[in-house]
Amino acid sequence: MEDIKQYMQSVGQQARAASRIMAQADTAAKNRALEAIAAAILDGGATLIAENAKDVAAAKVGGLDSASVDRLTLTEKTIRGMAEGLRQIAQLADPIGEIGGLSYRASGIQVGKMRVPLGVIGIIYESRPNVTADAAGLCLKSGNAAILRGGSEAIHSNQAIAACVHAGLRAAGLPETAVQVIATTDRAAVGELITMKDYVDVIVPRGGKSLIARISEEARIPVIKHLDGICHVYIDDEADLAKAIRIADNAKTHRYGVCNAMETLLVNAGIAAQVLPPLCKIYLDKNVELRGDEAARAIVPQMKTATEEDWRTEYLAPILAVRVVANLGEAIEHINTYGSQHTDSIVTENYTKAMRFLREVDSSSVMVNASTRFADGFEYGLGAEIGISTDKIHARGPVGLEGLTSQKFIVLGSGQVRA
């Protein structure tokens, strides 16, 4: 334990020192590093796959479930994907140093804001080695130092990727310590990381709900967290029927295991008899289990009965809760009560209702006539995302480069003093 503490303190100190250099690194140097890391990953593909094979073999012996083994496994395709991701980050505009809002005050000073890095970002994630490259790239481009702690099953893969990251940083004349990948699988390292206030400015946990809940509970550093994605589509009685069916189908069935998939469908009573039969036929044909309230089951008898618990559940599976509501107010009330403030969408042609939904639904993404599946850093044009925040402080929704930065005030004077 003492050793882990000492090791983490030293990692923290080095990260803090590196963060000062990274904050000043110019755009060209950061982009050179990203390109060099991408090249090192492609060149080192065989080594990555060999190191990854050790992890995969151990995971299988250890009885890891097959979905997790899939996420752990590196292939030539995922390796190309990592390199491609880094090159895309190099193409993004550098947010650091951007000055906005400079305006004169009556005192004669000019006041504005400059975008700056947060400093040191600690990222804790499960056994998906590609996150190591993604997270390193985003932190690097946003001028931060990163301390990465991946799942213990991926330790060899992550260390091999770390070697590529370090080679790239060296090639660009930047400090290797700007990205440190924790070299121990000891869980005590996480405990240290999330409490090293002097060395870490923000923690981003990526992974299952229990991991994130535990980290938020124990952290003594701000956490950008993403808990559930209980997303809703509300079909209004003034919805265009074709749009409603297309959106509700896509939001549920495009992918089941993702946080921006719809989990509960709300349908206005005035349109339920028209929209539910054709829509539910699509769901049933795709083997989606339907759980409805009384009114919905009266229209589509194949539905099971939904319980209170269903409104609060993130299925991440081919299961959908369905509820008929009397009006928009009831829909908004349902979403704000049972939702997880992630992503919710209304389908309507009515301007006033659309505006009210946008304003009153308290979620990180609120949509009109679009599938909840669009809630994503790439789709929003952020270029890449470190995660989706369901917090209210600092960043809500998909967090890209800008979410890893802050703004300081700058004042340009010509000798002014306070009267």
Q: How far is the CB of 246 from its own copies (least distance, A)?
A: 5
Applying CB under 8 A, among 51, 153, 192, 201 the residue interacting with its own copies is: 201
Q: Please report whether residue 317 would count as binding its own copies according to CB under 8 A.
A: no
HSE-CB of 293 using CA atoms within 13 angstroms = 16
- E strands, 151-215, are 179-181, 202-206
82 vs 96 by CB, closer to its own copies: 96
Q: Please report whether residue 242 would count as binding its own copies according to CB under 8 A.
A: yes
Q: How far is the CB of 225 from its own copies (least distance, A)?
A: 11
* Subset of residues 61 to 100 that bind its own copies, contact rule: CB under 8 A: 97
Residue with tokens 């009556």: 106
Q: How far is the CB of 76 from its own copies (least distance, A)?
A: 25
Residue 311 has which token pair?
Answer: 């409104």
Q: Please report whether residue 107 would count as binding its own copies according to CB under 8 A.
A: yes
CB-based contact 108:411 (threshold 8 Å): no
Across the beta sheet with 289-292, the strand order is 304-305, 289-292, 319-325, 262-268, 231-235, 343-347
Helix (H, G, I), strand (E, B), or coil: what is residue 237? coil
Sign of the torsion angle spanned by Cα atoms 128, 206, 96, 100: positive
Q: How far is the CB of 61 from its own copies (least distance, A)?
A: 38
The stretch near its own copies (CB under 8 A) out of 156-164, 165-173, 240-248, 308-316 is 240-248
What string marks each residue from 349 to 378 as x (binds its own copies by CB under 8 A) or -? ---------xxx-xxxxxxxxxx-xxx---
313-343: buried (b, 16+ CB within 10 Å) or exposed (e) per residue?
bbbeebbbbbbbbeebebbbebbeebbbbbb
Cα separations in angstroms, 345 against 212, 238, 368, 392: 26, 14, 6, 19
301 vs 415 by CB, closer to its own copies: 415
Q: Please report whether residue 118 would count as binding its own copies according to CB under 8 A.
A: yes
Q: How far is the CB of 394 from its own copies (least distance, A)?
A: 4
Which residues here bind its own copies, judged by CB under 8 A?
A: 20, 23-24, 97, 103, 105, 107, 109, 111, 114, 116, 118-119, 201-202, 217, 220, 222, 240, 242-243, 246-247, 249-251, 254, 336, 345, 358-360, 362-371, 373-375, 379-381, 391-394, 396-398, 406-418
